[in-house]
Amino acid sequence: MKFQLPKSAISTSERKSASTRRPMALALIVLLTAISTAAPAIAQIAPLPPTAGFEQPSGLSLGGFNFYSRVQAGLTATDNIRLDPTEEADLKKILAINAAAQSAWEKHALAATVGYVDQQAVDISDQKSQALSGTISGRYDFTDTLNLRLGALNEGSIIGKNDPLQFNGNLNGTTQTNTLEAGLEWDNKTYFVNLLSRYQDISNDTDIDVTVVSRVQSQDREEYNLTLEAGQHYSWGKASIFGGPIRIRYSGSDFILPEDRDSEGARVGIGAEFAQGDLSGLVRVIGFAQYFNAPTIGEVVAGVGTAQLTYKIDEKWGAGAVLQRTFDETNIEGSGGLFTNLAGVAALYRPADNIYFKLGPTYRFYTIEGTPYEAESFTLDATAAWQVLDRVELMFNASASNQLVNDAFLSDLQYSETSATVSVVVTF
């Protein structure tokens, strides 16, 4: 995970967030509410209960602010570093650094974060990626029930295995996202109403195209959306309804692209979060319509959503499950986007206070809208962690993945890969 502002409104590129980033977060918050860690891009594992004892310890407190930092360094061995039919093996050096500052004020709030990730193969020189991210966000309390939230995010992310952007030929690239958000929130502890406005500038940088799917079309774009949400708190959690318009403008669409992919649309949805004892989860169901300027694309009207469940069985065991349907932009001509259907389960075992294991399979089924092309992947992820000292962890991650396609047009996306990562994590 990377430091990032919690995201609420759903844009074309973020309909996948109905699964991975808790879209339409009921509070529509922009303030950083949890300090997470930057890490190398790995396959997603189903949500699991928090592992007691492995929370990031509090950092330095000074001048009304709490400061946190985390460094992870390691080495990955893989038998297919390019994730393509060439199946070239190599070792990859990994470094991830995060730092954050968060106010400890009774009223109002201010937070800032910075994160850096570096991945570089030892022998294959073109397999390297760096990503730098930073956020600043704040909350101004007008009253006990009304506040204004502002945030700015500059996020660099490394595209990896099981990322939908692989279908755009961006498997070895990075995505840079600049986001500005402003939200007005009213919450009297029984009902809440939120209005959020968001602007995003998104650009992709691909050093090496490894698939024939890549087109001359740019995926660089600007997105504008407005979201209104209303909901109610309950003893078990909270629920809401939300919706709003969205507009997308592609860079260079008047001169470079064979298709004018600029579009307008809207989305509406319902959501709920609940927690009862050791059982917790969330549900999001979103319907959307996107109308493209390109006559070859037409319109995309569909539904996406997510359902997550976590359960702490006892002090040693926990389990999690997720079902998702997401939608992402694609640059494949004649198609408005890529649908990903995902199912995953995972188990957590904690035999001792300073040791835990996680294991879980994930299945993905991809369909490219407007085309007969399909793909599916199976992934098995495993993680083991040993807390050597209060602020030092030794981590081991292993992953096995296999992706199949239904047409020779996608043949360069068919691969199998196994990898193992050993790293040391230090917090201070």
- Give the model's pLDDT for residue 118: 94
The larger pLDDT score, comparing residue 68 to residue 232, is at 232
The larger pLDDT score, comparing residue 181 to residue 45, is at 181
Q: Is the pLDDT of residue 67 over 50?
A: yes
Mean pLDDT of the chain: 83
Q: Are 108 and 138 in contact (CB under 8 A)?
A: yes
Outline where DSSP puts E strands in 207-259.
221-234, 237-250
pTM for this structure?
0.83
The larger pLDDT score, comparing residue 155 to residue 30, is at 155
- Give the model's pLDDT for residue 252: 55
- Give the model's pLDDT for residue 218: 61
What is the separation of C-alpha 183 from the centre of its chain, rounded to a whole number of angstroms? 21
Q: Residue 182, class by beta-carbon neighbours within 10 Å (0-12 exposed, 13-18 middle, 19+ buried)? A: middle
What is the mean predicted confidence (pLDDT) over 22-31?
28
Q: Which residues contact 80 (CB under 8 A, 6 or more apart)?
A: 86, 87, 88, 89, 415, 416, 417, 418
- Whose CA is closest to 253, among 287, 222, 285? 222
- Give the model's pLDDT for residue 271: 97
Q: Residue 141, class by beta-carbon neighbours within 10 Å (0-12 exposed, 13-18 middle, 19+ buried)? A: middle
Outline where DSSP puts E strands in 89-190.
90-103, 109-121, 128-141, 146-158, 173-187
Alpha-carbon gap, residue 354 to 387, rounded angstroms: 5
- Give the model's pLDDT for residue 29: 28
- Whose CA is closest to 221, among 176, 258, 265? 176
- Give the model's pLDDT for residue 330: 72
pLDDT tens digits, 297-321: 878 999 999 999 999 999 999 999 9
